[in-house]
């Protein structure tokens, strides 16, 4: 019965005119309940753009470095940068907060920093839809400085999702380890989990999948290579399943840290009903979007291009997949929620 419901929801999803390819992989902790569905030639071993699921990999590195005593979540961010780099990055209501930003503010999305990808009339997203381009870290900082922060860091019950938070975390990881981020991912995640088809693209030879925007498949390798810590990873549904199980299962870092990470705040209205904790999303299933029919929560991450990797603790299930559609970033969230509330 459970697999029939899952298959029905998958088949309803791929009927959408905007879904050109799709993959879904559902599995429990032990692997004795495991089913996959594919459409448009996308199977569980096909490359997919993780987009913001990459943030979970960055979170992992931060937590591993914390365990190693190489950083604290209370560290001020300016500790890792030249003073000029972050100067005037966070100026809110006439007061400068840049020097008060902590690693925890970045991880929990409580910095109040604006999101250059989505904000402003000529935002990065609009530009990338028209052409492929590379944006380095300094350029991203400059673009962010041109926008107004939304609140002071650590404002109670406030969170605002912005890629720049994780871009900065990526730079901190590289500074502490004195290594390129792709090498740190390999050392801390890819090698321990034996992931052979998961990577951060860096050279022209590294494959970057096309992204669908409405009816058009677009190629944006330069931009994807710019995103790195906030959204530049490539994987497969099979390997994402291995990773998401390890992330919540304690195979990469001590999962006792979750008692500190499970402090959730609602994100901006455009991202409702998503909440954010310490480096990952939480989606309550008992609210208005499910007409109060669901129980429990989903934890994990989705990506703006349609990727998702979630854990459903109530049923001990993991949901991984990709609908590959940039025009509808809510699609993977809605799909994961429908799947979760359908499983009894």
pTM for the predicted model, two decimal places? 0.97
Quote the CA–CA distance of 329 and 307 in Å, as a whole number: 9
Distances from the Cα of 198 to the Cα of 44, 51, 190, 237, 344, angstroms: 13, 12, 7, 10, 33
- pLDDT score, position 1: 54
Task: Write out the DSSP string of 179-203.
Answer: S-HHHHHIIIIIHHHT-SS-B---S
Task: Please say whether the beta carbons of 213 and 326 come within 8 A.
Answer: yes
- pLDDT score, position 295: 87
Kindly provide the b/e burial profile for residues 123-149, where b requires at least 16 CB atoms within 10 angstroms of the residue's own CB. ebbeebeeebeebebeebbebbbebeb
HSE (side-chain half, CA atoms, 13 Å) at 196: 1
Q: Which domain holds residue 42?
A: 2-342
Please list the pLDDT of the chain residue by residue as tens digits (344 residues): 578 999 999 999 999 999 999 999 999 998 888 999 999 999 999 999 999 999 999 999 999 999 999 999 999 999 999 989 999 999 999 999 999 999 999 999 999 999 999 998 889 999 999 999 999 999 999 999 999 999 999 999 999 999 999 999 999 999 999 999 999 999 999 999 999 999 999 988 899 999 999 999 999 999 999 999 999 999 999 999 999 999 999 999 999 999 999 999 999 999 999 999 999 999 999 877 666 677 899 999 999 999 999 999 999 999 999 999 999 999 999 999 999 998 87
Domain count within the chain: 1
- pLDDT score, position 292: 60
CATH number at residue 11: 3.40.710.10
- pLDDT score, position 2: 74
- pLDDT score, position 307: 98
């Amino acid at each position: 019965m459970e697999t029939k419901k899952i298959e029905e929801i998958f088949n309803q999803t791929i009927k959408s005119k905007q879904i050109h390819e799709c993959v879904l992989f559902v599995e429990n902790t032990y692997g004795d309940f495991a089913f996959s569905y594919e459409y448009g030639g996308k199977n569980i071993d096909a490359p997919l753009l993780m987009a913001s699921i990459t943030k979970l990999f960055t979170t992992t590195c931060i937590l591993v470095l914390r365990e190693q005593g190489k950083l604290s979540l209370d560290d001020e961010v300016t500790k890792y940068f030249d003073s000029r780099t972050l100067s005037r990055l966070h100026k809110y209501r006439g007061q400068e907060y840049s020097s008060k930003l902590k690693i925890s503010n970045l991880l929990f999305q409580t910095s109040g920093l604006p999101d250059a990808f989505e904000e402003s009339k000529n935002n990065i997203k609009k530009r990338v839809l028209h052409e492929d381009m590379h944006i380095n870290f300094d350029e991203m900082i400059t673009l962010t400085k041109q926008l107004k922060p939304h609140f002071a860091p650590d404002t109670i019950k406030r969170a605002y999702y912005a890629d720049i938070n994780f871009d900065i975390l990526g730079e901190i990881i590289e500074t502490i380890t004195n290594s390129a981020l792709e090498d740190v991912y390999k050392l801390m995640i890819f090698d321990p989990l034996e992931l052979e088809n998961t990577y951060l693209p860096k050279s022209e030879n590294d494959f970057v999948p096309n992204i669908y925007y409405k009816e058009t498949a677009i190629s944006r390798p330069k931009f994807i290579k710019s995103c790195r810590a906030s959204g530049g990873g490539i994987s497969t549904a099979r390997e994402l399943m291995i990773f998401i199980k390890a992330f919540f299962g304690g195979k990469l870092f001590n999962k006792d840290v979750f008692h500190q990470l499970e402090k959730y705040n609602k994100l901006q209205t455009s991202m409702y009903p998503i909440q954010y904790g310490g480096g990952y999303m939480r989606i309550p299933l008992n609210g208005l979007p499910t007409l109060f029919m669901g129980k429990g929560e989903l934890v994990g991450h989705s990506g703006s291009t349609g990727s998702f990797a979630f854990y459903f603790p109530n049923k001990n299930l993991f949901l991984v997949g990709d609908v590959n559609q940039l025009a509808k970033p809510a699609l993977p969230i809605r799909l994961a929620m429908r799947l979760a509330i359908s499983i009894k």
